[in-house]
Amino acid sequence: MLTQTSQKEAVHLPQTLEPRNPGMELDLDWVMRATANRSAIERRAATLPGRRSVKKDYQAAWLCRAITCIDLTTLAGDDTAGRVARLCAKARQPVRADLLNALGMDGLKVGAVCVYHDMVATAVDALAGTGIPVAAVSTGFPAGLSPFHLRVAEIEESVKVGAAEIDIVISRRHVLTGNWQALYDEMRAFRAACGEAHVKAILATGELGTLQNVARASLVCMMAGADFIKTSTGKESVNATLPVSLVMIRAIREYFEETGYRVGYKPAGGISKAKDALVYLALMKEELGDRWVQNDLFRFGASSLLGDIERQLEHHVTGAYSASWRHAAG
């Protein structure tokens, strides 16, 4: 349980980077063995919120850990350089200095800032010297239906202007038709185009039809070299859910047991409350262990989550809740 970790340990566990997942040859026998028992998965997922028992200092510590795992995101059609600059300022100082000082958590910052390609250079400039990476959504985000050579070129352009992480979207049709070789080849090409930048494979799980498809797509993307697997673009009608998360992280565990390489996990879309962040952290800790609750292996894709966490931390320090508008994202 989360309560086994002290307040300082919850935020300051070693941040040693893992060797990158190099991928492997596509093993179709392994892929086709992957199944998903929906009723058992849903029963397990339903137990998680009720088992969340962190309170007081422990809760504050784990909420601070959640902040370090946030990919602070803006993916709107009306994004401007000014909005992105304000978001980056929030990334550098995610919680008011007086609250961090009271918590003994000075220097806290988010895991990354995630933007469209056109805003990468703005974000890179705004975050210079902070160590906060810029992530770019790519490959025809969110549908992934632009011509293949343009999707590859988009990755290369984002890397060229400074993106350290690339969130790609897979072609859902490959999953829905069971064309696992095509999905593997596509993901392999995207990984190659990323070069040294880490790649997060967005499965768009709400559009894959079944949990079995989610399990198989997760394995194929990891075999092709994904550094992270991610639930959603945030634009689908159904985004991150606990049953889908359970399927994906058990695929991650199986891949690690078979290959020795750790792959990260990123739930995205619909995670806006501090209590939800605690549930996801509990899931990661119980299913994968402490190593997977550090931000090189776990991220939240979120825009409004940070504001609610800041409200909860203010309540912990002062005993009073503040209005949500006092904790704007930028």
Let me know: does 169 contact 202? Beta carbons within 8 Å.
yes
Task: Quote the tokens at residue 312.
Answer: 């909860």
Beta-sheet strand order (sheet of 165-169): 264-266, 228-230, 198-202, 165-169, 134-137, 112-115, 70-73, 300-302
> Mean pLDDT across the stretch 138-150?
96
Q: State phi, psi for 132 to the nearest 5 degrees.
A: -85, 120
For residues 52 and 101, which has the higher predicted lDDT (pLDDT)?
101
Q: Choose among 155, 219, 257, 172: nearest CA to 23.
A: 219
- The C-alpha atoms of residue 26 and residue 250 are separated, in whole angstroms, by 19
In a domain, 4, yes or no: no
In a domain, 18, yes or no: no
The answer, yes or no, to whether residue 11 has pLDDT greater than 50, is no
In a domain, 313, yes or no: yes
The answer, yes or no, to whether residue 14 has pLDDT greater than 80, is no
Helices marked H in 137-179: 148-160, 172-176
Written in H, E and C, the secondary structure of 55-71 is: CHHHHHHHHHHHHHCEE
In a domain, 174, yes or no: yes
* Residue partners of 26: CB distance under 8 A and separation at least 6: 180, 181, 184, 220, 223, 224
Task: Quote the tokens at residue 290.
Answer: 């402490």
Catalytic residues: 167, 230, 266
pLDDT tens for 175-209 read 999 999 999 999 999 999 999 999 999 999 999 99
In a domain, 324, yes or no: no
**DSSP H or E stretch at residue 266:** strand 264-266
Task: Quote the tokens at residue 323.
Answer: 């209005």
Task: Quote the tokens at residue 158.
Answer: 């984002």
Q: Which of 10-14, 126-130, 227-231, 262-266 has the lowest mean pLDDT?
A: 10-14
Residue 246 identity:
L
> Mean pLDDT across the stretch 131-154?
97
> Mean pLDDT across the stretch 239-259?
97
> Mean pLDDT across the stretch 146-173?
98
Q: Choose among 287, 262, 273: nearest CA to 1.
A: 287
Residue 49's domain comprises: 23-319
Q: What is the pLDDT confidence band of residue 325, given thresholds at 50, 70 and 90?
A: low
In a domain, 3, yes or no: no
Q: What is the CATH number of the domain that holds 254?
A: 3.20.20.70
In a domain, 14, yes or no: no
Q: Which of 45-54, 99-108, 230-239 has the lowest mean pLDDT?
A: 45-54
Domain total in the chain: 1
Chain-wide mean pLDDT for the chain?
92
- Which pLDDT value is given to residue 48? 85
In a domain, 326, yes or no: no
Name residue, tokens 């859902």.
172
Strand-pairing partners, residue 114, are 73, 135
